[in-house]
Amino acid sequence: MLLSIKSWLFETPSKDCMASYAKSGDNRYLEQLIALYSNDLYHYLVTQSNTHLAYDVSQQTWLKVIEKRHLYQGQTTPKAWLFKLARNTLIDEYRRQKHFVELDENTHLAAQNDKSESGLTIGSSNISYDAFDAALKQLSFVQREAVTLQQEGFSLADIELITQSSLETIKTRLRYAKQHLKRLLGANNEQA
């Protein structure tokens, strides 16, 4: 009895807030989702665009979550579903702006430098951060995406689902991306 009262008072978040939100439409779950994933999504979007567009697309994505919650099915992780939604929204936005039409290995949509980022106070210990940031921005859209998603903790199967690419393609992108990064970071270290 006491336990049930305790669980009622201090309700622990559901394992799959997205499934709960899809089922009930209760804003509590949406708030939980935003608290859990908004920064992850925003960081991914900034990596693939710039802070201004990332925030805009981030807002659009959350509105899509509200509209399309009935389409969520529990076979994917909520995070993967959200990232797929965000990615599609970003690509739609790019296409709307006529930035590019097809996504391939050569589509080089380098993330743009933001004044807010470059204005950060950077100490001597942050040289590697700048180098990493610059190197990441030199990768092609899809290679940068593959690395980012892997670093976000997604499995290859998740990345396959999010990017709608084959497993082999993803592996190749990751391999080339890491090679490039290694080369670029190595070059930067030498310069430093």
Partner 1 sequence: MNKPDEPFDQKLTQHYKERKERITLTSDQQKALLNTATHTKPKKPTRFSFTLQLTSLACALGVFAFIVFDNNNVINTEPKTVLNSVFNTIDIHDYSIIKTHEINQAGSYASTFTEQKHALDSQLANDLRRHQQRHIEYGTLVKVDNDWYIASCNDEVLVQIKQSLLRDLKGKHAVESNINTGDMLAMAHNGKGQIIALKHAGAGVRQCGA
Q: What residue ranges bind partner 1 (CB under 8 A)?
A: 25, 27, 30-31, 34, 38-40, 42-43, 46-47, 51, 55, 58-59, 62-63, 65-70, 117, 120, 128-129, 132-133, 136, 147-148, 151, 175, 178, 181-182, 185
- Check if the beta carbon of residue 112 is closer than 8 Å to that of residue 146: no
The closest alpha carbon to 165, from 181, 153, 149, belongs to: 149
DSSP string, 26-67: -HHHHHHHHHHHHHHHHHHHHHHS-HHHHHHHHHHHHHHHHH
The total number of residues shown for the chain amounts to 192
| Distance linking the first and last C-alpha atoms of the chain | 64
Nearer to partner 1, 25 or 74 (CB): 25
Closer to partner 1 by Cβ: residue 47 or 163 = 47
Count of CB atoms within 10 A of residue 73's CB? 10
Q: How far is the CB of 66 from partner 1 (least distance, A)?
A: 5
Complex with partner 1: residue 4 or 125, whichever CB lies closer? 125
Cβ burial of 81 (10 Å; 0-12, 13-18, 19+) is: buried
Residue 128 one-letter amino acid: S
Minimum CB separation of residue 70 from partner 1 in Å reads 6
Q: How far is the CB of 22 from partner 1 (least distance, A)?
A: 11
Nearer to partner 1, 31 or 105 (CB): 31
Closest approach of Cβ 102 to partner 1, in Å? Answer: 27
CB closer to partner 1, 7 vs 118: 118
The CB-of-175 to partner 1 minimum distance in angstroms stands at 6
Question: Do residues 88 and 60 lie in contact, with contact meaning Cβ atoms separated by under 8 Å?
Answer: no
Joined together, the tokens standing for residue 140 give: 């092609």
Tell me how far, at minimum, the Cβ of 4 lies from partner 1, in Å: 28
For partner 1, the closer CB: 18 or 46:
46
Distance in angstroms (rounded) separating the CA atoms of residues 180 and 186: 10
Mapping DSSP to helix (H, G, I), strand (E, B) and coil, where does residue 147 land?
A: helix
